[in-house]
Amino acid sequence: MTIRNTVIALLAGLALAGIAFAHEGHHHDAMGTIEALDAEHIVLQIAADTSEQFTLSADTVFSRGTEAATSEDAEVGERAVVVYEEKDGHNVALEVKLAAKGS
């Protein structure tokens, strides 16, 4: 096996490992800019052409830096990290982390 084939096999294995870990019951992080927000959903723009929607629940925790926050503290256009897990085909937000003011 040549070095090229070894590298291709290694990269394919790493790609498949990522897919294997992206199933229900595991927490994942998504980082981006808040594109939309309402009482039930938050949408992050992850990349220039990619947005991801997350379902909010009464159990979703908001924080700004190290302080507790609420969904009303979040603003469209600011950066955020959403910790989520997949449940029944939906991305459910467990935590929404906002940057501390002045950061």
**CATH code: domain of residue 81:** 2.40.50.320
For the chain, how many structural domains are there in total?
1
More confident residue, 47 or 16: 47
- Domain hosting 68: range is 27-98
Assess whether pLDDT exceeds 80 at residue 22: no
In the block, which residue shows the tokens 């927000």?
37
3 located within any domain:
no
The pLDDT tens digits for 43-98 are 999 988 999 999 999 999 999 999 999 999 999 999 999 999 999 999 999 999 99
Each residue of 23-40: pLDDT tens digit? 556 899 999 999 999 999
Residue 66 lies in a domain: yes
Question: What pairing do the DSSP bridges indicate for beta strands 79-87 and 67-69?
Answer: unpaired
35, part of any domain:
yes
Structure tokens at 36: 């939309």
